[in-house]
Amino acid sequence: MAGGGTFLTFPALVYTGVRLVAANATSAVAVFPGYLGGAADFRGEIRALDRGMRLRATAATAAGGLVGSLLLLVSSNEAFEVVVPFLLALATLIFAFGDRLRNVMEKHAAGAGAAGHVGTIVVAVYGGDFNGGLGIILLAPFSPWGMRDLNQMNGLSFIVSAISVATFAAAGLVAWRPQA
């Protein structure tokens, strides 16, 4: 189930009566320990990355994660209800075909130029807003950067998750207690 925790937590929260936007934010908090554990466990692999690449990847994922989490803050439950089926479908497709997508990206990798940065930011915006399958989805834009180690790539997804969780918690969007 690695990379698919949101597929369990988000629907469970909605089923229990948590409104969609709050369920999404709360789901991000629920899966955060997995990202934290991954980053802690893979810190050696992450440190093994070229320092410049690590800083560029961190900046791109942080910027995208912040924009995505801020997008959720301005989303209404009604608007999010329209978008969620598409986000779930996208996440499901990427979850199902993640290995193929990563292989295609590796074959066509042209380095971590502007396209690599933009792709990473776009995926991080998605992750900051929705988070479903984020660890798998981030594998695709990291491949053109020359990253081949899954532990390095998954460890870096912690950045998007941490920014989202901090943003959602600070905004009071997380359902910390059961809904009445």
**Residue by residue, what is the 3-state secondary structure of the chain?**
CCCCCHHHHHHHHHHCCCCHHHHHHHHHHHHHHHHHHHHHHCHHHHHCCCHHHHHHHHHHHHHHHHHHHHHHHCCCHHHHHHHHHHHHHHHHHHHHHHHHHHHHHHHCCCCCCHHHHHHHHHHHHHHHHCCCCHHHHCHHHHHHHCCCCHHHHHHHHHHHHHHHHHHHHHCCCCCCCCCC
Q: What is the pTM of this model?
A: 0.84
Residue-wise pLDDT tens digits, 113-167: 566 678 788 889 998 998 877 777 777 777 666 676 777 777 778 899 999 999 9
Residue 42, C-beta contacts closer than 8 angstroms, at least 6 positions apart: 151, 152, 154, 155
Segment 55-62 mean pLDDT: 88
Sequence length of the chain is 180
At 116 the pLDDT is 64
What is the Cα–Cα distance from 160 to 175, expressed in whole angstroms?
A: 20
